[in-house]
Amino acid sequence: MNLMYKSTRSAAIQVTASEAILKGLSPDGGLFVPEQIPKLDLSLSEIAKMSYQETAYEVMKLFFTDFTEAELKDCIHKAYDSKFDTEEIAVIKKADDAYFLELFHGATVAFKDMALSILPHLLSVSAKKNQINKEIVILTATSGDTGKAALAGFADVENTKIIVFYPKNGVSPIQEKQMVTQKGNNTYVVGIEGNFDDAQQGVKVMFHNKELAEKMDKAGYQFSSANSINIGRLIPQVVYYIYAYSRLLKNFEISRNEEINITVPTGNFGNILAAYYAKQMGVPIKRLVCASNENKVLYDFFRTGIYDKNREFILTSSPSMDILVSSNLERLIYQLTGEDPIQTAAFMESLATDGTYTITEEMQAKLSDFAGGFADEQKVAKTIRRIYELDGYIIDPHTAVAASVSHTYQSASGDQVKMLIISTASPFKFTRSVMNAISPKYDSMTDLTLIDELSGLSGVKVPQAIEDIRSAKVLHTTICAKDKMQEIVEEILKI
């Protein structure tokens, strides 16, 4: 039986997995969600005997039911290969009395590789399945990591173009260098004079612009998305939570059916939502701890039931979390309403017009699976230094947000269930923030010198992705005002 996908904002829309992947966003502005979250049909003990690739198949086959076994296995085989610098794909390290799930061993040294390595292949198969003869234009906003991972995934993929918008002054120097040096005849990178929310809003407006869609249709193009609003990005993220639990089981770190807690550094809410889906599939997860930086809109939401983006936007050392509109939260809101598209649409309309909405007490009572916390810049730096001095283990600022919040949560709640902390980026992407946190003596060094210092200090080889940008030529120099994004897209597509 096919698992169908519906929109969070309309009961009338129903599509297959491949159609949902192709569209990216529902025509009514909603996000696609599966009709139900399937249960695992193998035990976690059985999964513990499998490789990452085999685990990926067992999870994805339950969601992408209109893909054949051969199609899905081919996508997985092409995605999780030598692009990753470790055979395990996702590695667990023990430090600070917790387990760190390292999701940064892919081509761009950030967790986005885990899903964006497979999305281009899923999209190509989906296009063939649905007899799409148009060229697919991947339109994406990035807060730092999605952009490079999407560019790397889609570079020179046949019948696609990829256009990435990023906040010009809102990403780390290494994140920017990774994007603007991206090769590929079909890749376009544009810095905007604004923040990530401006970029994300501009992309959403273009997705909903019927006039633009008609222009593109005549020129033989159609939009799709590489952001986690695309279900083809979100479902592959569920895999690594199931895999991580099975590894802890395999390595006798936990016993069968033992509950764990998971702390996720959270911006757009996709990564923690994937963990929530894993819990619903049958993984014994007790509590999901949503870790925010100083842009603590999600922390305030979990504490009060009020989502309010009307606040100062703060640039931090964890730029991938500098977000005030967490798009994927809509999928959780939809579940909390009892899958009521009318109520969900009303909340999203309120957010669009007033910048805020308040969920009901009944909905708030259903949030018991989650806890929230936030870490300011001082706590982030202190956590990086503390864990380095304690265990010689060096983490990036996003992971440090999670480690700080996890520490606070355990102290305040007395909850001593074993903690899995999601490590979302290599410290080599944020060398200055990391090294300055360890010691002020590094402040006078250049970014490139700091890369070698970090390697010596951590005993970790400089990742190839970082080596590659040392001498890479800047290929993308376009900057635009936030209200000129559509003009840039039309110029690129010559429509």
State the pLDDT at residue 356: 98
How many beta carbons lie within 10 A of that of residue 157, not counting itself?
Answer: 18
Query: In the predicted model, is pLDDT for residue 173 greater than 90?
Result: no
pLDDT for 70-115, tens place per residue? 999 999 999 999 999 999 999 999 999 999 999 999 999 999 999 9
Could you tell me where the beta strands, DSSP code E, fall in 225-347?
A: 260-265, 285-292, 306-308
Q: 448: pLDDT confidence band, cut at 50, 70 and 90? A: confident
End-to-end, the C-alpha distance of the chain in Å comes to 41
Query: In the predicted model, is pLDDT for residue 146 greater than 90?
Result: no
- DSSP per-residue string spanning 461-485: PPPHHHHHHSSPPP---EEEEGGGH
State the pLDDT at residue 470: 85
pLDDT for 200-211, tens place per residue? 899 989 998 999
- DSSP per-residue string spanning 102-144: E---STTSBTTHHHHTTHHHHHHHHHHHTT--SEEEEEEE-SS
pLDDT for 27-55, tens place per residue? 999 999 999 999 999 999 999 999 999 99
pLDDT for 317-360, tens place per residue? 999 999 999 999 999 999 999 999 999 999 999 999 999 999 99
How far is 177 from 67, CA to CA, in rounded Å? 37
pLDDT for 348-404, tens place per residue? 999 999 999 999 999 999 999 999 999 999 999 999 999 999 999 999 999 999 999
State the pLDDT at residue 408: 97
Q: 65: pLDDT confidence band, cut at 50, 70 and 90? A: very high
User: CB of 267 within 8 A of CB of 143?
Assistant: yes
State the pLDDT at residue 479: 97
